[in-house]
Amino acid sequence: MSEVDEIRKHIGLIAEGIRAKDLEALRRLYSEDVVSFDVEPPLQHVGIDAKLKNWATAFVFFQDVDYEIRDLALTVGDSVAFGHCFGRLSGTLTNGVPTDGMWVRATFGLRKIDGKWLITHDQVSVPFDIASGAGATDLSP
């Protein structure tokens, strides 16, 4: 398997872990010192426990959850890689209401640590309207 294919599979495992609400599966995909710039405050989440806390919070709102990744582009070196894609969290909320969610922009930085690719940085964002300060959550790729 090529390095690019290995990283594509790794990013795909994020979607699988989210669908299963499996925090331990997600833990294995990130470095212990991951720095995450997620859509929820604060400005940064430092460390794997902070990253997983974000997912645990999101899972509380969903009875069933899905995650879709689109247009993943990767640049891979010997020990460092980065990629970007669009992602969408959707599913059925705990009150039984289905939601299509919203598309976000996602960027990943990975390092090969002890022979294994791990995410050391990620950023998730939505564009916003400068005049109103409101996020543009109705866009799609």
Whether omega for the bond prior to residue 41 falls within 30 degrees of 0, making it cis, is no
| The CATH number of the domain covering residues in 3-61+69-85+105-123 | 3.10.450.50
What is this structure's pTM?
0.93
Q: What pLDDT does 100 receive?
A: 95
The domain spans of the chain are: 3-61+69-85+105-123
Sign of the torsion formed by the C-alpha atoms of 132, 130, 133 and 94: positive
Query: Which pairing describes strands 30-37 and 116-125: parallel, antiparallel, or unpaired?
Result: parallel
Q: What pLDDT does 40 receive?
A: 87
Full pLDDT tens readout for the chain, 141 residues: 899 999 999 999 999 999 999 999 999 999 999 999 998 889 999 999 999 999 999 999 999 999 999 999 999 999 999 999 999 999 999 999 999 999 999 999 999 999 999 999 999 999 988 999 999 889 999
Q: What pLDDT does 1 receive?
A: 87
Contact status, residue 83 vs residue 11, Cβ threshold 8 Å: yes
